Amino acid sequence: MNSTVVVYYSKDNNTRTGAKILSDRIGAKIVELTEIKKGNFIQALTKKSSKLAGDPWGEIKDAKIIYLMSPIWASNGVPAVNAFLDKADLTNKEVTIITFQQFADLRNSDNVHNYFRNKVQDKKGIVLDCYAFLGGKMGHCAEEVYIRRQIDKLFPTE
């Protein structure tokens, strides 16, 4: 049983790459959010949820620490993460929120972090921190070495 879990959604592989690097670095279980029908930018803009495949909620049942990783679309969180948070039992779980976006100035990441923070707290979770990372332009993944450098700032290698 691993009490640390990385939960993520990724469309263009920026968040997936970051999640894999992070989970390898800290020895965490990894849970990918998979949509039954792909969410879109309109759903993100209106803060809607999509339908998720499988049981990602069961995958975090025994977790004490969760790293929640999401891209930012249309200056909002993505429908898959909204769906996960809608049903998640985060009671007394420590959550760190990490987002990826295409804008170098990381605009609106604070708004997305606050939105996710409120959802986590509504589910009785404890938000430890929030981080904004830069990924590739829409439709493209940044180089792995670039994403790794950002993860290294949080979790330096020895």
In this prediction, residue 130 carries a pLDDT of: 96
Is the model's pLDDT at 84 over the cut of 80?
A: yes
The mean predicted confidence, pLDDT, of the chain is 91
In percent, the amount of the chain with pLDDT more than 70 equals: 97
pLDDT in tens, 101-153: 887 778 789 999 999 999 999 999 999 999 999 887 777 777 888 898 889 88
The pLDDT of 19-48, averaged and rounded, is 91
CA-to-CA separations, 128 to 66, 83, 93, 133, 144, in angstroms, rounded: 10, 21, 10, 17, 26
In this prediction, residue 111 carries a pLDDT of: 94
> pTM of this prediction?
0.93
The pLDDT of 22-40, averaged and rounded, is 94
Which residues 6+ apart lie within 8 Å of 8 measured at CB?
15, 16, 18, 19, 30, 31, 32, 33, 68, 69, 70
